Amino acid sequence: MFVEWIGHTESIAVVLGGKTFHVPRARLGLHMRLYHIQQQYEEAVDQRNAARVYSLLVEYLTVACGLPLGSPSLHEMAVAFEMVKALNAFRADIACLRFPGQAVDGKPPPYEYADRWATTWIHSLAETYGWALGDILQLWPEQAAALLQEILISEQMEKEWEYGIHGVGVVYNKGSDKTSWRPLPKPGWMVPDIAPVAIRIPKSLLPVGLVVNVGEALKAKRDQGTGRN
């Protein structure tokens, strides 16, 4: 199997309530469940809801350990949470995950719902390979993402082939009386990055005050949208 490089036998030991728990790295199904709880936990932290933060820490670690925790301290749980989160951090650079779908006019489409990304992954893998739900949830997250990207690439290649044989991309220019080919646009993650060109700007033309690097800001937003660390 091509997942050997992921290190699927890796596990960590966390101490909770004076007991040591050996926590293995999560496969896709457990990874999705832990990520869902993690999102709720981070929302509770932002809202400064101490009671919900505590209950979600207990839920996250109970699910990760697969056993009741006993009576751990808040400090023990906070440390264990960060350790388990780091253990299950996504370790593959999958291009299609760097460009999340953008909302139209700031609003998500009507069919959008919380954690739809997980359903989309499962649906695509099941439809393409005919796998059962249980088999899909036993994949490693990175393996599932790599397969999902291959599905998206195949779909794009098929669209380009149909686009070409139907002649949709042939554009006629009346001025030159010639035709040219307009290729079907590719998703952003399939297009190679273009190296920026350095331009020297005279000091007199430089802006005054706080300067925001738009490129870096957009990159940070994309990373935030796809990262699950």
pTM of the model: 0.60
Question: Could you tell me which of 2, 20, 19, 3 has the C-alpha nearest to residue 11?
Answer: 20
Pick from 87-96, 154-163, 218-227 the range whose average pLDDT is largest.
154-163
Q: Model confidence over 84-96: pLDDT tens digits?
A: 999 998 887 777 7
Q: SS3 of 22, please?
A: strand
Q: 60: which 2 tokens? A: 């996250």
* Residue 83 clears pLDDT 70, i.e. is over it: yes
User: What residues form DSSP beta bridges with 35?
Assistant: none
HSE of 100, CA atoms in CB hemisphere, 13 A: 17
C-alpha to C-alpha distance for 164 and 178, rounded to whole angstroms: 18
For 7-37, the pLDDT digits (tens) are: 455 888 999 988 899 999 999 999 999 999 9
Cβ neighbours for 84, distance < 8 A, ≥ 6 positions apart: 12, 14, 23, 34, 60, 61, 64
CB under 8 Å to 196, separation ≥6 — which residues?
215
Looking at 10-19, 64-73, 76-85, 172-181, which range is the least confident one?
172-181
pLDDT value for 200: 75
Backbone angles phi, psi at 222, to 5 degrees: -65, -45
